[in-house]
């Protein structure tokens, strides 16, 4: 069934039907049954060919066997389980470094596999942790891994967070909760289907302009639009979808973790990754960064090496984040730019702290001008690195050949300058607007203001989607 | 529209002789439409040209007619001088194209085609013509509603095969009320000027325009691979009309040349050298060539030149989709090149190609 795999009207309609069913009873068994049935039906509607689901079923079975093996105390089950799951994941996703001949010859269902992979891996690793012996029933395992609200693009919820919610008696959503979640649904829908569409439109047209013959200045301007619009498109596309699923889940009585926290307000690249795709970066910090750093520190226990290891572990962690996004060599560059960005950021902090001292460095970083410039640079670095995220090598070559070295340098410098000013103005305007109060409360948070705001958004979204039939781009992260 | 007779099923839409009127669209400036003594939007009087002149009678619909541009800016008006200069001999284009003159209506007009003693009949089709191949009269609600019943299934004068598409059955019953109400709401809002302005700015983006067009069922049939059944049905209707026009031209010993004027989606795809899987901007041209050549007429392909024209999609009105004055200049170049390349035009001193 088309359209279910994104922030579309049909997906929201499906979600709302499930919400209604889930709220028919507060009994945990009922809510659990509705969630599981809705998730299975959801997959069936997207992929009606049963045989195409066999690889996914095999992957899930391998994960569950790993969990059982660990529960039974089988030695080395964690290591074997992780190796099997990582290998199976890379093979099913057909990573380009694997021999093509080894891949399955038929098309099969891989939607959401990346997110299932994180959830299953987390269960296997944690099941092997001391004192973590837990009894995960098959139904809970399936409801957790296949939950339709988190299947396509996350967020990556932890089992400890999920299980108690599904086992508790459901809270009937009150009027405030319903209002707040409907508001979030509309905002999410608007982000995906209106803002995302507009940013994508500018970006695609800029790419086409770069491929055409033309003068240097328009080309540099096209390069600026190309690189500057994509982060906003990706943010609207991904965070809008997350808004929709969080709202739907909340109406079902489930709380999903937040995945974004105003990422373009970040004043460093490390801070950025604390605000962007939060559940992914948190997962990798827990399961890659921390264990790797601890292992290195135990192996080479020298205090002088701690910061070097920290930088190295940052690089490895965020390099992995980069290459997780795709199967081809472009994502290796994307990973290097993510890992490199975080590592350089950490190195800069270490050097300045050594030179200035901890307190003076913090004081410097807190200065408005420093924060402005750092925010602009963070945005520009991320925007630049995303070229290897959205484009293949032929497009990258066409884009760079289109504007030339000078054009690109000019575009990136202009982007840094404009991002520095524009994001600072935005932060300032936001602070001032939130400071406006009426009857002792922020005016923007007043129910009337919020109702008026979402009514405008809903009207525009209706006009774009229903009246003008404007097709918005699909959810980018569903392909990972 | 004040200069046009819209509701005569025996002729199709035609201009009122020696009339003039003006039209202003939301995307265009005020444009003059003047018609000669036999009701065509062309400068020449309604009689054969002087000796030595090679005359091309242009037939087609609104693009050939020069919809939304001054007559002097239309490709029909520009083509004659360009060909004259390149062939070193006088060539003129007698434009009989008419708004809403879709293929089924052309067998009704063959006398008029031959009246100016042409050296060639040039049929400039558009994808929209094929989509509406069976219409003789425009699908203007007031006109069409009155004429649907008597015309459906009957012969249309000389056009024995020309029929008018039946109107879709109107839904009835209580169950259809929500659907009708919804359609009414969407239709009303679609006609709103604010919606038009929004569309205008959105569709200036070629990518957005293309994404929207390709998502519309029916509107992009001619681009879809393989050709949908609806397109094939329309091509059959066109083939019937062509057969009659070609037979008449052959009897008068006048060569018939057919070309396909590129639509905006085709122009964007070909100019950018890229299109999604499942679509092909060249498909309709290939299908038309097969039909045209089967009838002994000549097909000339305008599209090769588009591939070297950057940003060709900007030469069309964003919402209305007709070519702008720059678009007509582009079409002139493409058509002149295609005609000369094909050998369809006579060399200097000869009347035969």
- pLDDT of A377-435, one tens digit each? 999 999 999 999 999 999 999 999 999 999 999 999 999 999 999 999 999 999 999 99
| Tokens encoding A454 | 């979402």
* Tens digit of each residue's pLDDT (9 = 90 or more) over B71-114: 999 999 999 999 999 999 999 999 999 999 999 999 999 999 99
The residue-averaged pLDDT of A204-216 equals 90
Confidence of residue B350 (pLDDT cuts 50, 70, 90): low
Between the alpha carbon of residue B104 and those of residues A126, B155, B238, B283, the distances in Å are 73, 11, 7, 22
For CA atoms A446, A447, A450, A455, give the dihedral sign: negative
Closest CA to B108 of B161, B175, B48: B161
Q: Which residue has the tokens 């400039």?
A: B124
* Interface contacts A/B by beta carbons within 8 Å: 47
Q: Is the pLDDT of residue B257 over 90?
A: yes
Alpha-carbon distance of A311 to A270, in angstroms, equals: 11
Q: Which residue has the higher pLDDT, B147 or B312?
A: B312
Confidence of residue B8 (pLDDT cuts 50, 70, 90): confident
Residue A30: the pLDDT is 94
Beta carbons of A213 and B310 less than 8 Å apart: yes
Residue A178: partners with Cβ closer than 8 Å, 6 or more residues away = A251
Residue B1: the pLDDT is 73
Q: Is the pLDDT of residue B153 over 50?
A: no
Closest CA to B12 of B151, B145, B135: B135
**Candidate from A247-256, B150-159, B213-222 with smallest mean pLDDT:** B150-159
Q: Which residues in chain A touch residue B195, judged by CB atoms under 8 angstroms apart?
A: 463, 467-468
Alpha-carbon distance of B40 to B115, in angstroms, equals: 12
Q: Do A365 and A267 touch, CB atoms closer than 8 A?
A: yes
Residue A124: partners with Cβ closer than 8 Å, 6 or more residues away = A63, A66, A67, A70, A78, A81, A82, A85
Alpha-carbon distance of A111 to A53, in angstroms, equals: 10
The residue-averaged pLDDT of A35-64 equals 96
Alpha-carbon distance of B195 to B200, in angstroms, equals: 8
| Tokens encoding A420 | 């520095």
Tell me the DSSP string of A49-115: -GGGGHHHHHHHHHHHHHHHHHHTT-TTHHHHHHHHHHHHHHHHTT-TTS-GGGS-SS----TTHHH
Query: For chain A, what's the residue count?
Result: 480
Q: Is the pLDDT of residue A234 over 60?
A: yes
Alpha-carbon distance of A41 to A45, in angstroms, equals: 6
Beta carbons of A468 and B207 less than 8 Å apart: no
Q: Is the pLDDT of residue B167 over 70?
A: no
Alpha-carbon distance of A449 to B191, in angstroms, equals: 30
Residue B149: the pLDDT is 39
Question: To the nearest whole angstrom, how far is the Cα of A478 from the nearest Cα of chain B?
Answer: 20
| Sheet of strand B256-260, all strands in order from the earlier edge strand to the far edge | B91-95, B54-60, B120-125, B256-260, B298-300
User: B1 at the A interface (CB within 8 A)?
Assistant: no
**Nearest chain A residue to B307, by CA:** A212
Regarding beta strands B91-95 and B54-60, do their DSSP bridges make them parallel or antiparallel, or are they unpaired?
Answer: parallel
- Burial track B113-132 (b if 16+ CB lie within 10 A, e otherwise): bbebebbbbbbbbbbbbbbb
Total Cβ atoms within 10 A of residue B330? 24
* Tens digit of each residue's pLDDT (9 = 90 or more) over A293-325: 999 999 988 888 889 999 999 999 999 999 888
Three-class SS state of B116? coil
Q: Pick A471's closest partner by Cβ from B189, B195, B215.
A: B215
Helix or strand run (H / E) with residue A441 = strand A441-442
Q: Is the pLDDT of residue A349 over 90?
A: yes
The residue-averaged pLDDT of A208-217 equals 89
Mutation site for B-interface testing, chosen from A8, A201, A212, A402 by largest number of B Cβ within 10 Å: A201
Residue A281: partners with Cβ closer than 8 Å, 6 or more residues away = A273, A274, A318, A321
Alpha-carbon distance of B100 to B4, in angstroms, equals: 10
Query: For chain B, what's the residue count?
Result: 353
ipTM tops the 0.90 cut: no
Percent of chain A with pLDDT over 70: 99
User: B88 at the A interface (CB within 8 A)?
Assistant: no
Residue A411: the pLDDT is 96
Q: Is the pLDDT of residue B157 over 80?
A: no
Rg (CA), chain A: 24
The residue-averaged pLDDT of B302-322 equals 92
Q: Which residues in chain B touch residue A214, judged by CB atoms under 8 angstroms apart?
A: 310
Q: Do B306 and B262 touch, CB atoms closer than 8 A?
A: yes
* Tens digit of each residue's pLDDT (9 = 90 or more) over B51-82: 889 999 999 999 999 999 999 999 999 999 99
Q: Is the pLDDT of residue A170 over 80?
A: no
Q: In DSSP terms, which residues pair with B122 in a beta bridge?
A: B58, B257
Distance of CA B279 to the CA centre of its chain: 21
Three-class SS state of B122? strand
User: A205 at the B interface (CB within 8 A)?
Assistant: yes
Q: Is the pLDDT of residue A375 over 50?
A: yes
**Nearest chain B residue to A473, by CA:** B211
Confidence of residue B169 (pLDDT cuts 50, 70, 90): low
Beta carbons of A208 and B272 less than 8 Å apart: yes
Beta carbons of B212 and A205 less than 8 Å apart: no
Between the alpha carbon of residue A75 and those of residues A85, A134, A308, B353, the distances in Å are 17, 17, 33, 89
Mutation site for A-interface testing, chosen from B198, B267, B315 by largest number of A Cβ within 10 Å: B198
Q: Which residues in chain A touch residue B187, judged by CB atoms under 8 angstroms apart?
A: none
Alpha-carbon distance of A319 to A317, in angstroms, equals: 5
Regarding beta strands B20-23 and B31-34, do their DSSP bridges make them parallel or antiparallel, or are they unpaired?
Answer: antiparallel
* Tens digit of each residue's pLDDT (9 = 90 or more) over A100-140: 999 999 999 999 999 999 999 999 998 877 766 567 899 99
Q: Is the pLDDT of residue B166 over 90?
A: no
Residue B137: the pLDDT is 84
Q: Do B64 and B76 touch, CB atoms closer than 8 A?
A: yes
User: A201 at the B interface (CB within 8 A)?
Assistant: yes
The residue-averaged pLDDT of A69-77 equals 84
Q: Pick B205's closest partner by Cβ from A201, A213, A469.
A: A201
| Tokens encoding A325 | 């996004």
Q: Do A478 and A111 touch, CB atoms closer than 8 A?
A: yes
Mean pLDDT, chain A, as a whole number? 93
Q: Is the pLDDT of residue B118 over 90?
A: yes
The residue-averaged pLDDT of B170-188 equals 80
Q: Pick B211's closest partner by Cβ from A208, A212, A471.
A: A471
Q: Is the pLDDT of residue B279 over 50?
A: yes
**Nearest chain B residue to A467, by CA:** B186
Q: Pick B186's closest partner by Cβ from A204, A466, A471.
A: A466
Q: Is the pLDDT of residue A365 over 60?
A: yes
Residue B54: partners with Cβ closer than 8 Å, 6 or more residues away = B87, B89, B90, B91, B92, B119, B120, B345, B346, B351
Total Cβ atoms within 10 A of residue B171? 11
User: B195 at the A interface (CB within 8 A)?
Assistant: yes
Mean pLDDT, chain B, as a whole number? 88
User: B199 at the A interface (CB within 8 A)?
Assistant: yes
pTM for the model stands at 0.87
Q: In DSSP terms, which residues pair with B58 in a beta bridge?
A: B95, B122
Q: Which residues in chain B touch residue A212, judged by CB atoms under 8 angstroms apart?
A: 272, 310-311
Alpha-carbon distance of B68 to B25, in angstroms, equals: 8
Q: Is the pLDDT of residue A339 over 90?
A: yes
Q: Which residues in chain A touch residue B310, judged by CB atoms under 8 angstroms apart?
A: 212-214
Mutation site for B-interface testing, chosen from A463, A472, A473, A474 by largest number of B Cβ within 10 Å: A463
Q: Which residues in chain B touch residue A471, judged by CB atoms under 8 angstroms apart?
A: 211-212, 215
User: B178 at the A interface (CB within 8 A)?
Assistant: no
């Amino acid at each position: 069934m088309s359209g279910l795999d994104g922030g579309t009207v049909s997906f929201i309609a499906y979600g709302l039907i499930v919400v209604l069913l889930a709220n028919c009873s507060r009994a945990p068994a009922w809510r659990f049954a509705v969630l599981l049935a809705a998730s299975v039906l959801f997959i069936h509607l997207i992929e009606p060919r049963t045989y195409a689901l066999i690889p996914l079923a095999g992957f899930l079975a391998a994960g569950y066997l790993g969990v059982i093996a660990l529960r039974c105390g089988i030695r080395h089950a964690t290591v074997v389980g992780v190796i099997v799951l990582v290998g199976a994941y890379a093979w099913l996703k057909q990573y380009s470094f694997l021999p093509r001949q080894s891949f399955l010859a038929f098309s099969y269902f891989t939607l959401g596999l990346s997110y299932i992979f994180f959830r299953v891996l987390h269960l296997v690793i944690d099941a092997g942790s001391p004192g973590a012996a837990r009894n995960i029933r098959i139904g809970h395992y399936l409801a957790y891994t296949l939950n339709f609200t988190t299947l396509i693009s996350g967020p990556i919820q932890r089992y400890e967070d999920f299980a108690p919610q599904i086992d508790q008696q459901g809270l009937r959503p009150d009027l405030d909760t319903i209002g707040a979640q409907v508001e979030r649904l509309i905002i999410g829908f608007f982000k995906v289907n209106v803002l995302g569409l507009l940013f994508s439109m500018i970006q695609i047209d800029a790419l086409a302009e770069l491929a055409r013959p033309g003068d240097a200045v328009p080309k540099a301007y096209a390069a600026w639009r190309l690189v500057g619009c994509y982060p906003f498109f990706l943010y609207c596309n991904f965070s809008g979808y997350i808004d929709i699923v969080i709202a739907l889940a909340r109406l079902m009585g489930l709380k999903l973790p937040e995945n974004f926290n105003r990422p373009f307000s970040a004043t460093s690249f490390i801070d950025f990754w604390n605000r962007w795709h939060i559940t992914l970066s948190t997962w990798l910090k827990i399961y890659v960064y921390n264990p790797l750093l601890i292992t290195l520190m135990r192996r080479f226990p020298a205090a002088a090496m701690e910061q070097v290891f920290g930088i190295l572990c940052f690089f490895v962690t965020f390099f992995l984040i980069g290459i997780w996004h795709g199967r081809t060599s472009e994502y290796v560059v994307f990973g290097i730019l993510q890992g490199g960005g975080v590592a350089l950021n950490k190195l800069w902090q270490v050097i300045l702290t050594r030179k200035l001292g901890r307190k003076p460095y913090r004081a410097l970083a807190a200065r408005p001008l420093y924060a402005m410039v750092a925010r602009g640079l963070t945005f520009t670095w991320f925007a630049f690195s995303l070229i290897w995220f959205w484009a293949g090598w032929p497009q990258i070559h066409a884009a760079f050949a289109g504007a030339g070295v000078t054009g690109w340098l000019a575009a990136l410098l202009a982007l840094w300058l404009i991002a520095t000013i524009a994001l600072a103005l935005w932060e300032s305007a936001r602070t001032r607007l939130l400071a406006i109060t009426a009857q002792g409360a922020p005016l923007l948070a007043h129910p009337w203001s919020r109702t008026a705001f979402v009514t405008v958004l809903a009207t525009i979204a209706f006009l774009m989607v229903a009246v003008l039939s404007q097709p918005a781009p699909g959810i980018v992260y569903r392909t990972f | 529209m004040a200069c046009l007779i819209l509701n005569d099923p025996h002729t199709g839409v035609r201009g009122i002789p020696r009339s003039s009127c003006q039209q202003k669209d939301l995307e265009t400036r005020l444009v003059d439409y003047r018609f000669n003594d036999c009701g065509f939007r062309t400068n020449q009087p309604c009689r054969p040209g002087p000796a030595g002149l090679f005359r091309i009678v242009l037939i087609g619909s609104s693009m050939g007619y020069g919809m939304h541009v001054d007559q002097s800016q239309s490709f029909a008006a520009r083509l004659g001088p360009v060909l004259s200069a390149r062939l070193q001999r006088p060539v003129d284009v007698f434009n009989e194209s008419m708004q809403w003159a879709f293929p089924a209506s052309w067998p009704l007009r063959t006398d008029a085609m031959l009246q100016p003693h042409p050296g060639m009949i040039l049929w400039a089709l558009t994808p929209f013509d094929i989509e509406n191949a069976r219409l003789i009269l425009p699908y203007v609600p007031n006109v069409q509603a009155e004429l649907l019943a008597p015309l459906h299934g009957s012969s249309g004068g000389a056009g024995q095969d020309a029929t008018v598409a039946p109107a879709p059955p109107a839904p009835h019953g209580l169950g259809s009320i929500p659907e009708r109400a919804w359609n009414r709401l969407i239709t009303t809002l679609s006609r709103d000027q604010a919606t038009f302005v929004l569309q205008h700015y959105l569709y200036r983006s070629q990518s957005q325009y293309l994404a929207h067009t390709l998502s519309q069922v029916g509107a992009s049939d001619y681009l879809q691979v393989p050709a949908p059944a609806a397109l094939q049905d329309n091509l059959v209707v066109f083939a019937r009309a062509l057969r009659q026009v070609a037979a008449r031209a052959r009897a008068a010993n006048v060569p018939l040349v057919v070309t396909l004027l590129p639509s905006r989606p085709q122009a964007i795809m070909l100019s950018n050298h890229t299109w999604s899987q499942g679509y092909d901007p060249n498909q309709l041209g290939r299908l038309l060539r097969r039909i045209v050549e089967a009838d002994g007429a000549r097909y000339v392909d305008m599209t090769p030149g588009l591939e070297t024209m950057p940003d060709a999609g900007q030469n069309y009105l964003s919402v209305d989709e007709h070519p702008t004055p720059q678009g007509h200049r582009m079409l002139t170049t493409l058509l002149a090149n295609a005609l000369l390349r094909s050998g369809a035009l006579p060399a200097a001193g000869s009347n035969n190609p």
